[in-house]
C-alpha cells in the first residue's frame, strides 16, 4: 500500500470536466490514476458498507466510495419512565460507554425526563429596497391570511396532517445598507426536520411579499436558529449514584465554572453534543443544523453559556437540566433513504420527531454528566487511554484475548504507544510472556 504522504507528485489539476456524469467505478478509476491508489486501496474505498450503490450515488455528488463509522448502542437509558436503547454513531472512543454509565446513575433517581416543543421552524424572507419599511411591515401583517394560505398551498399533505404555516412575524432590521424587512414564516413541520417544506414555502410567498412591499426579495431560507423547537431534559440523582456528596459538590462547581467562563462553556457544551450528534448521525439527521442552532442558543443572552446546569437540591441530590433547540425529523432527508437510519429509529422505538428530540436531549444530559463527573474525579484520560490502548493493540495486530492483554500491559507500564504495542504483539506471537 502507498503511504498517505504519497510517493508521487501533486495532482496536476483538480479540473475534472464531466466527473459528475461518470459512474462510481469510472470516477474511482480516474482518481486512482491521478493520485496513484493501488488495487487494495481502491477496494477499500469502493466498499459502500451497508449503503446501496444507487442510494449512495444519489445521496451526494461525485461519489467514489464509502466510509464506515461504527454503530453502537448506549444502554441503561430510562427516559420518561420508559427504557430505551440508544443508537449512536461516532468516531470518538469513550462516548458510548460514558453515556451508558451516566444513564445508569440517573436511573437510580428515576431516570431522565425530557419534553420537546412542537416541531415549529422559521422560514426567513429578506426584503430590501423598501420605501417606508415600518409601514410596509404592517402591510405585510395586514395580508397575513393570504400569505399563510399561499404558503400552505405548497404542502397540502402537511396541512391535512395538522401542520403547515401558522403565523407570521415581521421585523425591520437595520443593516449596513439601510433597513431591510425580515419576515418569519412560522411553520409546524410535524415529523420532518422541515428544511424542504419551509424553504419551498418561503420561496413561494416571495413574489407576494414583493407586491405588498414594493421591495425586492433576496434570501428565502429556513433559520437554523430553531427557537420555537426547544427540547428540555432534567434528572435527579442521589449522591451515592454519582460517587457521594463530595462528587455532587464538585460537579456543581464544574457547572458554575461553565456558567462563568465561555472557554469552559464551549467544552462543556461540546460534551453534550458528543451524545446528541452521535444519535443524530445514527438516525441520519442534519447534524450541522443541530450544532449551529445549539451554539447560537447557548449565546442567546449575548454571552456564550452552558446548555445545561448542575445544581444540588434541598435533599443533597444532584439535579441537572438541559435546554437546546433540536431540529430533527423522522421522515425525509437521509432518514428516508439510509436503511441504517431507519433501523436506528426502529431500535430506539421512535415514532415521532418529538420523541427523537426528547431522547436526544436526554442523551445530551447524560453525556454531560458523564464528562463532568469524570473531570472532577479521575479525569478523562484514564478511560480514554484504556480505549486508546485497545485501539493501538488492534492496530498492532492483536486479536481476541490478546487485545486486552497488550492494552493492559501498556497501561501498567505507562507506555501507551504504537511502537510498544507492536513490540508486545511480536513478543506474544513468539510465545514469550509479557
Ligand atoms: C471530550 O470529547 C468532551 C469533554 O471535553 C467534555 C467536557 O469537558 O465536559 C470531556
Same structural domain, 370 and 280? yes
CB-based contact 310:372 (threshold 8 Å): yes
Is 54 part of a structural domain of the chain?
yes
171 φ/ψ angles, rounded to the nearest 5 degrees: -130, 150
Ligand 1 atom nearest the C-alpha of 264 is: 8
Average pLDDT over residues 292-300: 98
Last residue of a domain, one of 377, 403, 421: 377
**Residue 321: per-residue pLDDT:** 98
Cα(97)–Cα(227) distance, integer angstroms: 31
What does 96-123 look like in DSSP terms, one character per residue? HHHHHHHHHHHHTTT-EEEEE---EEEE
Nearest CA, atom 4, ligand 1 = 271
Same structural domain, 77 and 140? no
Cα(433)–Cα(407) distance, integer angstroms: 14
Same structural domain, 365 and 261? yes
Is 320 part of a structural domain of the chain?
yes
Same structural domain, 45 and 163? no
Cα(379)–Cα(390) distance, integer angstroms: 19
**Residue 359: per-residue pLDDT:** 98
End-to-end CA distance of the chain: 31
Same structural domain, 280 and 419? no
CATH number, domain of 258, equals 3.90.770.10
**Residue 9: per-residue pLDDT:** 63
Same structural domain, 276 and 369? yes
Pocket lining: 268 vs ligand 1, CB cutoff 6 Å: yes
User: Strand ranges (DSSP E) for 244-385?
Assistant: 308-312, 318-325
pLDDT in tens, 354-380: 999 999 999 999 999 999 999 999 898
pLDDT in tens, 321-358: 999 999 999 998 899 999 999 999 999 999 999 999 99
What's CA 48's distance to the chain center, in Å? Answer: 22
Same structural domain, 112 and 246? yes
Is 91 part of a structural domain of the chain?
yes
Torsion sign, CA atoms 33, 39, 44, 46: positive
Last residue of a domain, one of 189, 204, 223: 223
Is 4 part of a structural domain of the chain?
no
Give the Å distance between the CA of 349 and the centre of ligand 1.
Answer: 29
Is 16 part of a structural domain of the chain?
yes
| Mean model confidence pLDDT for the chain | 96
CB-based contact 202:121 (threshold 8 Å): no
Same structural domain, 146 and 249? no
User: What are the Cα distances from residue 320, in Å, to 20, 84, 238, 301, 365?
Assistant: 49, 20, 12, 21, 7
**Residue 130: per-residue pLDDT:** 98
Q: Which of the four pLDDT bands, split at 50, 70 and 90, describes residue 388?
A: confident
Cα(417)–Cα(118) distance, integer angstroms: 49
- 4 or 74, higher pLDDT: 74
* C-alpha grid cell, residue 399: 486479536
Pocket test for ligand 1, best of 98, 267, 320, 366 (most atoms within 8 A of CB): 267
Residue 382 confidence (pLDDT) above 90? no
- 7 or 235, higher pLDDT: 235
* C-alpha grid cell, residue 14: 483538480
* Torsion region of 76: left, alpha or beta (phi above 0 gives left; psi -120 to 50 gives alpha): left
Residue 1 confidence (pLDDT) above 50? no
pLDDT in tens, 247-274: 999 999 999 999 999 999 999 999 999 9
Total domains in the fold of the chain: 4
Same structural domain, 237 and 287? yes
Residue 318 confidence (pLDDT) above 60? yes
Give the Å distance between the CA of 73 and the centre of ligand 1.
Answer: 20
Residue 4 confidence (pLDDT) above 60? no
pLDDT in tens, 215-237: 999 999 999 999 999 999 999 99
Is 159 part of a structural domain of the chain?
yes
**Residue 7: per-residue pLDDT:** 52
Residue 340, SS3? helix
Give the domain extent around 210.
120-223
Q: Within a 10 A sphere around the Cβ of 182, how many other Cβ atoms?
A: 17
Pocket lining: 371 vs ligand 1, CB cutoff 6 Å: yes
Residue 2 confidence (pLDDT) above 50? no
- 386 or 34, higher pLDDT: 34
**Residue 8: per-residue pLDDT:** 52
Last residue of a domain, one of 202, 223, 244: 223
Is 5 part of a structural domain of the chain?
no
Average pLDDT over residues 308-317: 98
Same structural domain, 266 and 181? no
Point out the residues that are catalytic: 92, 270, 286, 384
| Portion of the chain with pLDDT greater than 90, in percent | 93
CATH number, domain of 423, equals 1.10.8
Same structural domain, 250 and 341? yes
Is 434 part of a structural domain of the chain?
no
CATH number, domain of 149, equals 3.30.70.420
Residue 40 confidence (pLDDT) above 90? yes
Same structural domain, 296 and 354? yes
Q: Which of the four pLDDT bands, split at 50, 70 and 90, describes residue 62?
A: very high
Ligand 1 atom nearest the C-alpha of 254 is: 9
Nearest CA, atom 6, ligand 1 = 271
User: What are the Cα distances from residue 406, in Å, to 94, 102, 234, 339, 425?
Assistant: 19, 28, 41, 37, 7
112 beta partners: 79, 235
Amino acid at each position: 500500500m502507498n503511504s498517505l504522504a504519497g510517493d508521487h507528485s501533486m495532482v496536476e489539476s483538480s479540473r475534472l470536466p464531466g466527473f459528475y456524469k461518470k459512474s462510481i467505478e469510472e470516477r474511482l478509476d480516474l482518481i486512482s490514476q491521478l493520485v496513484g491508489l493501488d488495487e487494495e486501496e481502491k477496494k477499500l474505498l469502493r466498499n459502500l458498507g451497508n449503503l446501496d450503490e444507487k442510494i449512495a450515488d444519489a445521496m451526494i455528488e461525485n461519489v467514489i466510495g464509502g466510509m464506515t463509522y461504527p454503530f453502537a448502542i448506549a444502554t441503561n437509558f430510562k427516559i420518561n419512565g420508559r427504557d430505551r436503547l440508544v443508537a449512536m454513531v461516532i468516531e470518538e472512543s469513550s462516548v458510548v460507554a460514558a453515556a451508558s454509565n451516566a444513564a445508569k446513575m440517573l436511573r437510580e433517581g428515576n431516570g431522565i425526563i425530557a419534553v420537546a416543543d412542537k416541531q415549529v421552524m422559521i422560514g426567513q424572507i429578506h426584503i430590501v429596497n423598501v420605501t417606508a419599511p415600518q409601514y410596509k411591515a404592517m402591510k405585510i401583517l395586514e395580508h397575513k391570511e393570504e400569505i399563510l394560505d399561499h404558503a400552505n398551498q405548497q404542502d397540502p399533505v402537511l396541512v391535512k396532517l395538522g401542520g403547515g404555516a401558522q403565523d407570521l412575524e415581521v421585523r425591520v432590521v437595520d443593516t449596513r445598507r439601510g433597513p431591510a424587512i425580515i419576515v418569519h414564516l412560522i411553520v409546524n413541520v410535524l415529523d420532518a426536520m422541515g428544511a424542504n417544506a419551509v424553504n419551498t414555502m418561503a420561496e413561494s410567498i416571495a413574489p407576494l411579499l414583493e407586491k405588498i412591499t414594493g421591495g425586492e426579495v433576496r434570501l428565502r431560507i429556513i433559520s437554523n436558529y430553531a427557537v420555537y423547537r426547544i427540547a428540555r431534559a432534567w434528572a435527579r440523582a442521589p449522591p451515592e449514584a454519582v460517587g457521594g456528596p463530595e462528587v455532587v459538590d464538585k460537579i456543581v462547581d464544574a457547572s458554575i465554572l461553565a456558567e462563568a467562563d465561555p472557554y469552559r462553556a464551549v467544552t462543556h457544551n461540546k460534551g453534550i453534543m458528543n451524545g446528541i450528534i452521535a444519535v443524530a448521525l445514527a438516525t441520519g439527521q442534519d447534524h450541522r443544523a443541530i450544532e449551529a442552532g445549539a451554539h447560537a442558543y447557548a449565546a442567546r443572552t449575548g454571552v456564550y453559556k452552558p446548555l445545561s446546569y448542575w445544581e444540588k437540591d434541598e435533599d443533597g441530590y444532584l439535579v441537572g437540566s438541559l435546554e437546546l433547540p433540536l431540529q430533527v425529523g423522522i421522515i425525509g432527508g437521509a432518514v428516508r433513504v439510509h436503511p441504517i437510519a431507519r433501523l436506528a429509529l426502529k431500535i430506539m422505538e421512535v415514532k415521532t420527531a418529538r420523541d427523537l428530540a426528547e431522547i436526544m436531549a436526554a442523551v445530551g444530559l447524560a453525556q454531560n454528566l458523564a464528562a463532568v463527573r469524570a473531570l472532577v474525579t479521575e479525569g478523562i484520560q484514564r478511560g480514554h487511554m484504556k480505549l486508546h490502548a485497545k485501539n493501538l493493540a488492534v492496530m498492532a495486530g492483536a486479536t481476541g484475548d490478546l487485545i486486552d492483554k497488550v492494552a493492559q500491559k501498556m497501561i501498567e507500564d505507562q507506555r501507551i504507544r504504537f511502537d510498544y504495542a507492536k513490540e508486545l504483539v511480536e513478543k506474544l506471537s513468539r510465545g514469550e510472556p509479557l
